[in-house]
A and B are shown apart, each in its own frame.
Chain A
Amino acid sequence: MPEGGRVATAEGAAAPAGAPEQATLGAPAGAGPWRLAWRRLRRNRATLVFGGVFVALVLFCIAAPLYAKHVAHTGPYENHLSDTIEQDGETVNVVGFDGVPIGPTWRGEFLLGADDNGRDVMVRILYGGRNSLLIGVSAALITLMLSILLGLVAGYMRGRVDGVISRMMDVLWAFPVVLLGVALGTSLALGGFELGPVSVGPGSLLIPIFVISIVYVPYMARPVRGQVLILREQDFVEAARSQGAGPLRVMFAEILPNLASTMIVFFPLLIANAILLEAALSFLGAGVQSPEPSWGTMIDSGVERIITAPMLTIAPGVFLVATVLALNVFGDGVRDAFDPKGRVRMEH
């Protein structure tokens, strides 16, 4: 979460990632704990409602082209600087002569009004939502994979490998999150970058995805490492080793499945934080680049117009907050269901 710099979901920190419950961690995931978790989840009404809200928001954003075509009759990049529309029986300019765009009409066209360029705000919110969600989900996925990989290797190998990985995390940690994100984002957005055969253009969404996923790795890799340190000492690992399983096999076939509930617990919360960070980076000009919309860029340009057209700031923000809130509440419920004692924590 931007500003805090800490992953907002981090709970408790300084104490070493608490020894996870033997019951949930020790035994390979059987049907028992999963069914129990599912039952707890089903019983938690708030979690289901907010989960539903999130799914609805996602579907709505996915359906953006349909909305644009059939309801708003305009696209996300279409300017209507010199157009007029009928409102209350009068003909009004979409963007007034003083540069002030129209406010919400509360009907299909320009539902939430227009922006400076006469673009339909609702349409842009939906398209912006696609970008924000795409970035959030992909970044969270990458963070998840990188942290699991690093945490697994560091925790299992220990010794020097662990030392190197842990020190790397320490360095990332010493950066203010937003500063690091903005720095990377700005620097990459300047000229794009080449990663082996892939070349990424300056305006590409891959840049914020990459930046955000890197920034959050230390927050998750540490607790994963802590968990692996405990798991590797358990009997089933010992058994696998004594049957001649190599380190790769032990790590990925034996230990990895036991990290599943951790991943499930972290994922929604990671998405929420990634979406927030995307908004923050875009707000500072280091995330999604115009004319591509995202909730952060829309708030950024909206704030400049806040006095004459506050809806330009409010509307994308409400969607952003609703999405993040839904994910956070849902994520909390998932955590309570899978890890009721709060043993697995996103570390500080």
Chain B
Amino acid sequence: MLRFAVRRLISAVLVLFAVSVLTFLIFNVIPAGDPAVRMAGKVPTKPQVEAIREEWGFDDPIYVQYGTMMKKLFTGDTVSYFTQLNVVDEIIKGAPRTFALAIGAAVLSLLFGVILGVYGARHAGQWSDRAITLLAVLGLSLPVFWLGALMNHYLGFELGIFPNGGYVEFGESPTGWFWHLMLPWIALSFLFVGFYSRVLRSDILETENEDFVRTARAKGLTEKQVMNRHVLRNSLVPIITLWGLDFGFILGGGAILTEAVFNLQGVGQYAAESIEQLDQPVIMAVTLFGAFFIVLLNAVVDIVYAALDPRIRLEDARAP
């Protein structure tokens, strides 16, 4: 266990390091032009550019530049040149919004994914199963930003049932908070529900053909017991795993499109805006933030996976 944790930790740090290098390269090496000018924003003044060039060491060799960047990030006093706001502060401000979106959407999507997946498998081949399958595929085919924009417009603006985007602090008004998150949760879950229900449905159907399920029936267990204790217990493992990975992905601000279309001002939207402005310190910070959660949840999922399936020893759990 300890050895596994240590190895897992080392590989996680290595991946994060590689992510930071890659992000750095994407923004410092690929684009043409003077990075100092870009960093200075839309209307750079000459002294500003000079100061930036000096501060970030753009005349230094590339690895020194990378070092400078990372040092600034880790001391926590990086400032966006664009908005003059402290990056860490901004992320701290956006994180609760992103977390709220992630937790709600994760709960909804697992709940409905499991319900529809089980229902579809129990009624495999019947029209209700086909309808669910089609709905699930539709969920996978709907771009969340489009769905979100239409929901916002019709349910929010036209009908006035929901607020038209935006976010309210929980402390300020818990109902307002809930109401503002309702549409984003639904829009984002739509995709994942479609995804999980399909995976679960096909896993259940596959598990039902397993010999051990036949054994369970032969023991005289009721259909419900067979289903709950043996079929579901085995088919839920992959779903939980997927779900954990997706959860990490949204926690880290991966739901950029949802955040943007509902104007939630979370970390994801912050990332999108910073990329649009090529606001480099911010991009580095948010990318690492996102990658951190992905890597973290990957590790958690490995451990949970091993706990759910006794055949897996932690030593040879999924590759990082």
Write the residues of chain A forming the contact surface with B, with a CB cutoff of 8 angstroms.
1-6, 8-16, 166-167, 170-171, 173-179, 182-184, 186-188, 190-193, 272, 276, 279-280, 283-286, 296, 299, 303, 306-307, 310, 313-314, 317, 320-321, 324-325, 328-329, 332, 341-342, 348
Contact = CB atoms under 8 A, between A and B. Distances in A.
A341 B206 contact: yes
B157 interface: yes
Q: Max chain B CB contacts within 10 Å: which of A166, A176, A192, A325?
A: A176
B105 to A, nearest CB: 10
Q: Max chain A CB contacts within 10 Å: which of B141, B206, B305?
A: B141
B28 to A, nearest CB: 9
Contact of A187 (B30, B142, B202, B203): B30
Contact of B256 (A6, A178, A188, A342): A178
Contact of A6 (B150, B237, B245, B298): B245
Interface stretch (B67-75, B82-90, B187-195, B220-228): B187-195
A204 to B, nearest CB: 14
Interface in B283-310: 283, 286-287, 290-291, 294-295, 298, 301, 305
Given A174-B291, A175-B19, A332-B137, A313 B258 contact: no
Contacts of A167: 18
A217 to B, nearest CB: 14
Interface stretch (B53-61, B211-219, B268-276): B268-276
Given A187-B31, A299-B143, A3 B188 contact: yes
B193 to A, nearest CB: 11
Interface string B234-277: 00011001100110010011111110110000000001100110
Given A11-B199, A12-B203, A174-B291, 7 more contacts: A174-B18, A190-B33, A279-B145, A321-B142, A328-B141, A329-B134, A348-B242
Contacts of A13: 238, 241-242, 245
Chain B: interface size category: 35 or more
B260 to A, nearest CB: 7
B198 interface: yes
A129 B184 CA distance: 28
B182 interface: no
A190 B276 contact: no
26 contacts: A3-B143, A3-B254, A3-B256, A4-B246, A6-B246, A11-B199, A12-B202, A14-B238, A15-B238, A174-B16, A176-B249, A179-B254, A179-B256, A179-B287, A182-B256, A183-B26, A184-B30, A187-B31, A188-B30, A190-B32, A283-B143, A306-B149, A321-B138, A325-B141, A328-B137, A342-B202
Contacts of A285: 276
B319 A166 contact: yes
B271 A179 contact: yes
Contacts of B134: 329
Given A299-B146, A321-B142, A191 B257 contact: no
B143 A280 contact: yes
Given A5-B254, A15-B238, A179-B254, A317 B276 contact: no
B153 interface: yes
Nearest to B22: A171
B140 A9 contact: yes
Contact of A188 (B31, B144, B188, B198): B31
A179 B275 CA distance: 9
A177 B253 CA distance: 11
B9 interface: no
Contacts of A166: 319
Contacts of A321: 138, 141-143, 146
Contacts of A187: 26-27, 30-31, 278
B137 A12 contact: no
A328 B140 contact: yes
Interface of B: 15-16, 18-19, 22-23, 26-27, 30-33, 38, 134, 137-138, 140-146, 149-150, 152-153, 157, 188, 191-192, 194-195, 198-199, 202-203, 206, 237-238, 241-242, 245-246, 249, 252-258, 260-261, 271-272, 275-276, 278, 283, 286-287, 290-291, 294-295, 298, 301, 305, 318-320
Given A5-B246, A14-B242, A190-B278, A299 B145 contact: yes
Contacts of A317: 143, 146, 150
Contacts of B278: 186-187, 190
Contacts of A329: 134, 137
Given A14-B238, A170-B319, A187-B26, A279 B143 contact: yes
Contact of A276 (B143, B206, B301): B143
Q: Max chain A CB contacts within 10 Å: which of B134, B137, B290, B319?
A: B137
A176 B32 contact: no
B143 A8 contact: no
A245 to B, nearest CB: 30
Contacts of A341: 206
Q: Max chain B CB contacts within 10 Å: which of A11, A184, A341?
A: A11
A321 B191 CA distance: 13
Contacts of B192: 4
B248 to A, nearest CB: 10
Contact of B287 (A16, A170, A183, A276): A183
A212 to B, nearest CB: 14
A137 B194 CA distance: 24
Task: List 10 tightest A-B contacts by C-beta distance, closest first.
Answer: A191-B32, A14-B241, A176-B254, A324-B141, A325-B141, A8-B140, A317-B146, A171-B18, A190-B31, A12-B238
A95 B309 CA distance: 63
Contacts of A178: 254, 256-257
B133 to A, nearest CB: 8
Given A171-B18, A321-B146, A5 B320 contact: no
Contacts of A192: 32
